[in-house]
Copies of this chain bind each other. A is one copy, B any other.
Amino acid sequence: MTRASSTTKTYNQDCSDCPIRHRAVCARCEGDELEQLEQIKYYRSFEAGQTVVWAGDSMDFVASVVTGIATLSQTMEDGRRQMVGLLLPSDFIGRPGRETSAYDVTAATDTVMCCFRRKPFEDMMLRTPHIGQRLLEMTLDELDAAREWMLLLGRKTAREKIASLLTIIARRDASLQLSMADGELSFDLPLTREAMSEYLGLTLETVSRQMSSLRKEGLIVTEGKRHITIPDFDRLLEETGDDSDGGFLV
């Protein structure tokens, strides 16, 4: 369906069929500007588990996730790891004006990224205010997400953390694909138990136990290790500890 699982690098493909257009930087670009973006753009593919860049490595591009899921993580000297970013299709990677990555960037699933060479991209930003505006919007959204995440890390119980993560993934996936019928909803979990534990600030054992517990109570149904069905989304929402206003897709 898409070129998600291909591993060929492809340069300068036409942007018009590029799935990132609905949200990412080039969404409002036209004519000349699209032309310019084409010049500095190329695609890269990564397999699940592959590292894109390590924290501290130089990074001469910014990028947008096309398909798949990438993560940002920080590592402490003794190996403790915390995920600090979860990037779904259309999310932006990299910081204009920064030459090295501050985080480990990893492909959680097979992933395709649309990269823009950094220097010319920065130049273009100066000439094209709406790219900066778009970036500001996206950054503010990420900041809000980070703050939600901080509440989760600082104050939620293990069970609430798991329930929250499942609803977050379900919601974000929902806008893209996902099968759903009358409140029942299912999707493929794109993270290993270990990645989940890094997201949530838990150990993978605790993640596993809480998943089992939710399964036993019928809040989720699993098929294989990764496919999840949520029979009653609202019931799971009640386990997140969040305000239960807002309907399905807030």
Residues of A near any B CB (own CB < 8 A) = 72, 74, 76-78, 80-82, 84-85, 95, 97, 102-103, 129, 132-133, 135-137, 139-140, 142-144, 146-151, 153-155, 200-201, 241-243
Contacts and interface: CB of A to CB of B under 8 A. Distances in A.
Q: In the assembly, how many copies of this chain are there?
A: 2
A123 to B, nearest CB: 13
A82 B155 contact: yes
Nearest to A201: B154
Nearest to A200: B154
Contact of A72 (B80, B129, B132, B147): B147
Nearest to A146: B146
B136 A146 contact: no
Contacts of A243: 77
B147 A201 contact: no
Given A103-B147, A132-B132, A147-B85, A201 B155 contact: yes
